[in-house]
Amino acid sequence: MVRVLGIESSCDETAAAVVVDGRRIASNVVASQSSLHAATGGIVPEVASRQHVRWIVPVVREALNQAGLTPAAIDIVAATRGPGLVGSLLVGLSAAKALAWGWQRPFCPMNHIAGHVYANWLGEELPEFPLICLVVSGGHTDLVAMRGHHDFRLVGRSRDDAAGEAFDKVARLLGLGYPGGPAVERAARDWLGPVPRLPRAWLPGSRDFSFSGLKTAVSRMVQAPDAPPSAAIAMAFQESVVDVLVEKTLEAADELGARCVLLAGGVAANGRLRARMTDSCGLPLFIPAMALCTDNAAMIAAATSYARDFDDSLAADAEPGLDLTTRVN
């Protein structure tokens, strides 16, 4: 039995979790800062780092308590090393290194995006390779092909805004508040009237995405004298994003001979995306439970459980711009 303590602090959640054998969540503690950042309408990095400093020790302690374990029962300590905000990353990474050193256990630095992908290994069934995973978060919209564990090939990505970033910016344009993704989804859910038409960037011949034109179109629609209600615009925006994400992901899965399709990242919590993907996907589809889509540490521990030959020297630094992989077409 391998018990991994995972720590995640790349953005605005302070999180720690214990995962057993890469499959069973013994504890999963997330302290969200979102109410703190709601006042400024977005994350102020220095404010986020300070909050991580306050919470990291109690959150780790709570993860051990909820798992009913003492430090002696932990086999590996893992933490996110990037991508993310450097001040935020450093808090979790330094805490994890200190614990690994103090407890004399291996330390595993983990990629945050790999963590999002591996949230799909925490469900009932296990995904099979080869597979396509759509990673849609606040910082990334990546189509990732995998032929084995930790074998990531980037086969498509957003050329401008990430899908989550577009949700957040549109929420701001519509005055819906922060965090933007859930606010847009809520507004769209209540709308029963006609849905205005917004553009879709198909980028024919490419597996890439683009959301900046859509954002500009929303901004123009909001400022027009006969602007539709914000709920109608929210729904039109969400439909446009979901259409492109679903269609291009399934096309890539088909072209590349994938055996299953995975969704990952904060935007995978979007009900409309989950429903449309479920309706349209002819292959086995994996979507993490809602709480495992947004940032958490169970996904970091899960990804660590499937990693081989990691450098446990404590030399790993925070890497705010860390890539999952180089691009392959």
| Interface positions with ligand KG4 (CB under 6 A) | 11, 137-139, 164-165, 167-168, 179-182, 185, 265-267, 269-270, 294-295
Distance CA 269, CA 183 (A): 12
Smallest distance, Zn ion to C-beta of residue 11, A:
6
Distance CA 142, CA 158 (A): 7
The entry of Zn ion, ligand KG4, none near residue 183 (CB within 5 to 8 angstroms by kind) is none
Distance CA 217, CA 270 (A): 22
196 contacts 221 by C-beta, under 8 angstroms: yes
Distance CA 171, CA 182 (A): 9
Considering the complex, state which of residue 221 and residue 267 has its C-beta at the smaller distance from ligand KG4.
267
Residue 9 contacts Zn ion per CB under 5 A: no
33 contacts 48 by C-beta, under 8 angstroms: yes
Cα 311 from chain centre: 24
Structure tokens at 19: 């995962």
Residue with the two structure tokens 């446009």 = 240
Smallest distance, ligand KG4 to C-beta of residue 112, A:
6
The entry of ligand KG4, Zn ion, none near residue 252 (CB within 5 to 8 angstroms by kind) is none
The entry of ligand KG4, Zn ion, none near residue 167 (CB within 5 to 8 angstroms by kind) is ligand KG4
Instruction: Provide the H-helix boundaries in the chain.
Output: 34-38, 45-67, 86-103, 112-118, 163-173, 180-189, 212-223, 230-255, 271-280, 290-293, 298-305
The entry of Zn ion, ligand KG4, none near residue 294 (CB within 5 to 8 angstroms by kind) is ligand KG4
Residue 137 contacts Zn ion per CB under 5 A: yes
Smallest distance, ligand KG4 to C-beta of residue 214, A:
14
Considering the complex, state which of residue 152 and residue 191 has its C-beta at the smaller distance from Zn ion.
152
User: Degrees (nearest 5) of the Cα angle 102, 106, 112?
Assistant: 110
Distance CA 249, CA 255 (A): 10
306 contacts 3 by C-beta, under 8 angstroms: no
The entry of ligand KG4, Zn ion, none near residue 185 (CB within 5 to 8 angstroms by kind) is ligand KG4
Considering the complex, state which of residue 195 and residue 295 has its C-beta at the smaller distance from Zn ion.
295
Burial of 82 (0-12, 13-18, 19+ CB in 10 A): buried
The entry of ligand KG4, Zn ion, none near residue 92 (CB within 5 to 8 angstroms by kind) is none
The entry of ligand KG4, Zn ion, none near residue 95 (CB within 5 to 8 angstroms by kind) is none
Smallest distance, Zn ion to C-beta of residue 120, A:
14
Smallest distance, Zn ion to C-beta of residue 160, A:
19
231 contacts 170 by C-beta, under 8 angstroms: no
Considering the complex, state which of residue 99 and residue 218 has its C-beta at the smaller distance from ligand KG4.
218
- Binding segment (CB under 5 A) for Zn ion, from list 60-68, 143-151, 155-163, 295-303: 295-303
Considering the complex, state which of residue 98 and residue 275 has its C-beta at the smaller distance from ligand KG4.
275
Judged by CB under 5 A, the number of residues near Zn ion is 2
Smallest distance, Zn ion to C-beta of residue 299, A:
9
The entry of ligand KG4, Zn ion, none near residue 164 (CB within 5 to 8 angstroms by kind) is ligand KG4
Considering the complex, state which of residue 20 and residue 85 has its C-beta at the smaller distance from Zn ion.
85
Gyration radius of the chain over CA positions: 20
Amino acid at 208: D
Smallest distance, Zn ion to C-beta of residue 25, A:
17
Considering the complex, state which of residue 34 and residue 206 has its C-beta at the smaller distance from Zn ion.
34
Which residues contribute to the site for Zn ion (CB under 5 A)?
137, 295
